[in-house]
Structure 1
Amino acid sequence: MIRFHGTTLRLIFLLCLLGLCGMARAAPPDFLVDAAWLEARLKQPKLVILEVRYFPHRYDTVGHLPGAVQVQRFKDLGDNDSAVLMRLPSRAAFQATLRRWGVDNDSTLVLYDDSRSVLASRLYFLLVYFGYDMARVKILDGGTIEWSAFNELSKERVSPKPGKVTLQPGKREMLAEWTDVHDRVVARRDPKVVLLDARPREMYSGKIIRHSVQGGHIPGARNVVSLDATDAQSQKWLGMAEVAALYKDVPKDATIITYCHDGFRSTLAWLQLRALGYRDVRFFNGGWSQWDHSLTLPVVQGDAPFDADFSL
Structure 2
Amino acid sequence: MLLKTLIDTNELALLLGQPNVVVLDCRFYLADHAKGKLEYDKGHIPGAIFVDVHHELAAPETELTGRHPLPDVTTFSKQLQIWGIDSNTQVIVYDDMGGAIAARAWWMLSQQNIQTRVLDGGFPKWRRENREVSVKAPNSIMSEYCFSVSFPWAVDEQAIVENFETNQFQLVDARAADRFNGENETMDPIAGHIPGAINRPFSDNLDAEGCFKPAEQLHVEWQDWLSNSSDAYVYYCGSGVTACHNVLALNYAGIEAKQVYVGSWSQWSKRMLRASKSL
Length-normalised TM-score, structure 1: 0.78
Please tell me whether Structure 1 or Structure 2 has the larger radius of gyration of its CA atoms.
1
1:118-162 deviation line (CA, Å, top 9, x unaligned)? 111100111122x2332xx22211111221113131111223121
Q: Tell me by how many angstroms 1:104 deviates.
A: 2.2
**1:133 matched to which residue of 2?**
114
**1:263 matched to which residue of 2?**
240
Q: Tell me by how many angstroms 1:43 deviates.
A: 2.7
Cα distance, 1:223–1:240 mapped onto 2, change above 3 Å: same
Cα distance, 1:163–1:115 mapped onto 2, change above 3 Å: same
Distance 2:114 2:156 in 1: 26
| Identical-pair percentage | 25
Aligned ranges for residues 245-256 of structure 1 at < 5 Å?
245-247=220-222, 248-253=224-229, 255-256=232-233
1:217-252 deviation line (CA, Å, top 9, x unaligned)? 01001001111111242x210011221233222124
Is the CA contact 1:226–1:268 (under 8 Å) kept in the aligned structure 2?
yes
**1:41 matched to which residue of 2?**
15
Cα distance, 1:289–1:50 mapped onto 2, change above 3 Å: same
Distance 2:227 2:253 in 1: 12
Q: Tell me by how many angstroms 1:44 deviates.
A: 1.1
1:212 to 155, 180, 188: 188
Distance 2:62 2:142 in 1: 26
Is the CA contact 1:95–1:165 (under 8 Å) kept in the aligned structure 2?
no
Distance 1:207 1:256 in 2: 25
Cα distance, 1:169–1:152 mapped onto 2, change above 3 Å: closer
Q: Tell me by how many angstroms 1:105 deviates.
A: 2.2
Aligned ranges for residues 1-312 of structure 1 at < 5 Å?
31-54=5-28, 55-56=35-36, 57-61=38-42, 63-80=43-60, 82-83=62-63, 84=65, 85-129=67-111, 131-134=112-115, 137-148=116-127, 149-172=129-152, 174-184=153-163, 187-188=164-165, 190=167, 192-233=168-209, 235-247=210-222, 248-253=224-229, 255-279=232-256, 281-294=258-271, 295-296=273-274
Uncovered stretches (5+) of structure 1, i.e. residues with no partner: 1-28, 299-312
Distance 1:296 1:277 in 2: 40
Could you say what secondary structure the match of 2:91 adopts?
strand
- The one-letter amino acid paired with 1:201 is A
Distance 2:191 2:21 in 1: 43
Could you say what secondary structure the match of 1:145 adopts?
helix
Cα distance, 1:82–1:232 mapped onto 2, change above 3 Å: farther
Distance 2:56 2:165 in 1: 36
Distance 2:80 2:158 in 1: 30
Q: Tell me by how many angstroms 1:286 deviates.
A: 0.9
1:66-124 deviation line (CA, Å, top 9, x unaligned)? 11100011111101264432111122111111211222222221111111011111001
The count of aligned residue pairs is 261
Cα distance, 1:33–1:277 mapped onto 2, change above 3 Å: closer
Uncovered stretches (5+) of structure 2, i.e. residues with no partner: 29-34
1:33-77 deviation line (CA, Å, top 9, x unaligned)? 11111111223122111100124120012x000111000111111
Distance 1:213 1:132 in 2: 36
1:193-223 deviation line (CA, Å, top 9, x unaligned)? 1100110000000110121111100100100
